[in-house]
Copies of this chain bind each other. A is one copy, B any other.
Amino acid sequence: TGVATMKFKSPPVNSLSLDFLTEFSISLEKLENDRACRGVIFTSAVPKIFSSGLDITEMCGKSTEHYAEFWRAVQEMWLRLYGSNMVTVAAVNGSSPAGGCLIALSCDYRIMVENPKFSIGLNEAQLGIVAPFWFKDTFVNIVGHRVAERSLQLGSLHPAPEAHKFGLVDELVPEEKLQEKAAAVMAQWLALPDHARQLTKSMMRKAVLDRLVAHREEDIQNFISFISKESIQKSLRMYMEMLKKKKS
């Protein structure tokens, strides 16, 4: 059918580790170069979670070189996904904070399970960190400036119905209908001639993609100097402690 499904399977929470990101980018590149593949559906094989976002262990107590390598992999993932020529549909079957939300935001269409226990948002501010400008640009393109400003400042995680209300997700469906719906949406998008659709997508996204390409090294340096601060390291360690306690 020309449609691939990329199913995240990195328990317990599909966090975006360096390995995960590298595999993601390589897989996407392969599909991009495969002329038989015209669309990709992203979903999770882990119950209740789409992706928990960037792996905090990659940002804690590591070397400058590691931070640089990690951040470059995050950029690479987004540049490939937001700039993909394929039709990309996020089938969000669980919570999707921070980097998980970014993956959904970067697709062409977002379908989420209507369960209000599942939430989505760029909640970086809750952890004492700041979403990078290209997360912000992607978010503003989807929900507009006012909603993005408030949501980013508050680090909000929006329950699925609320996220739907202001357009952060395009559609809600019962969990058992999700894959069927994703396939139907994909078929609708693939009915269009590829070439015109790809040029249109690129016209819409080029400005935001170009901004990161033009400032990529600077963005890596910013990340390193921010994440290396003792105050930030401390709040990330506290956050990890909290997560561990929650689990046990």
Contact = CB atoms under 8 A, between A and B. Distances in A.
A200 to B, nearest CB: 5
Interface in A134-186: 136, 140-146, 148-150, 152-155, 167, 170
Contacts of A153: 108, 189, 192, 197, 200-201, 204
Given A109-B150, A143-B146, A189-B153, A128 B195 contact: yes
A170 B170 CA distance: 22
A201 B141 contact: no
A146 B167 contact: yes
A125 B192 contact: yes
A108 B155 CA distance: 14
* Residues of A in contact with B, size category: 35 or more
Contact of A152 (B128, B149, B204): B204
A136 B203 contact: yes
A86 to B, nearest CB: 12
Contacts of A235: 193
A193 B141 contact: no
A196 B128 contact: yes
A17 B149 CA distance: 31
Contact of A203 (B109, B127, B133, B170): B133
A170 B152 CA distance: 16
A145 B153 CA distance: 21
Nearest to A170: B150
B141 A149 contact: yes
A125 B170 CA distance: 21
Contact of A145 (B128, B152, B204): B204
Given A146-B143, A189-B154, A125 B167 contact: no
Given A143-B146, A146-B167, A154 B192 contact: yes
Given A136-B204, A142-B146, 18 more contacts: A108-B150, A124-B196, A124-B200, A125-B200, A128-B195, A128-B196, A129-B196, A130-B199, A131-B200, A133-B203, A140-B145, A144-B146, A145-B204, A149-B205, A153-B192, A153-B197, A153-B201, A154-B192
Interface of A: 108-109, 124-131, 133, 136, 140-146, 148-150, 152-155, 167, 170, 188-189, 192-193, 195-197, 199-201, 203-205, 231, 235
